[in-house]
Structure 1
Amino acid sequence: MYYWNHRGMNGWGWFVASISAILFWVLLILLIVFLVRTMNRSPGRPHNAPGRLPPERVLAERFARGEIDEDEYRRRLAVLREEHHGPDKRERAP
């Protein structure tokens, strides 16, 4: 009769121990998933959302479908390349 609620865990102790064990395993699984996803990410891959196309390709597809004409395509492509390759190199008025 030594362990009948005199020195053992009561109902709350079992509840806290159960929740703690569940939280431990959830956090461990989340940590493993995070590490696997981080290790599988290639360094050259852009961090765009999955399925999202680069802007140049979207522009080329719009040109191919006939949504924009050649002049607009070239003008927008020049703007995109200026944004990706550095600041504007044109002279600015003081």
Structure 2
Amino acid sequence: MTHAGWGGGPGWFLLIPLFWIILLIVLFAVFSRRWRHGWADHPGGWQAPAARAEGTLAERFAQGDIDEVEYRARLEVLRANRPDRR
């Protein structure tokens, strides 16, 4: 005589919670790694506007687009007008 329903016994009942537990562990591992390393480390991640501006300025100086005098002058202006400066 067979039972109505799934007919697989109690084993199938345990697989659904096990699936969700494994899924939550995987999601936690992925997002906690990104959180620990900071979103700025990843492409498209968040970065403070002042840090982006200084990075762009440093890249232009490294490529030779601007000379050292202009680099230092612009860097001083960026740092003087930084909103988080107290």
TM-score, normalised on structure 2?
0.47
Structure 1 or 2: more helix by fraction: 2
- Report which structure shows greater RCO (CA 8 Å, sep ≥6): 2
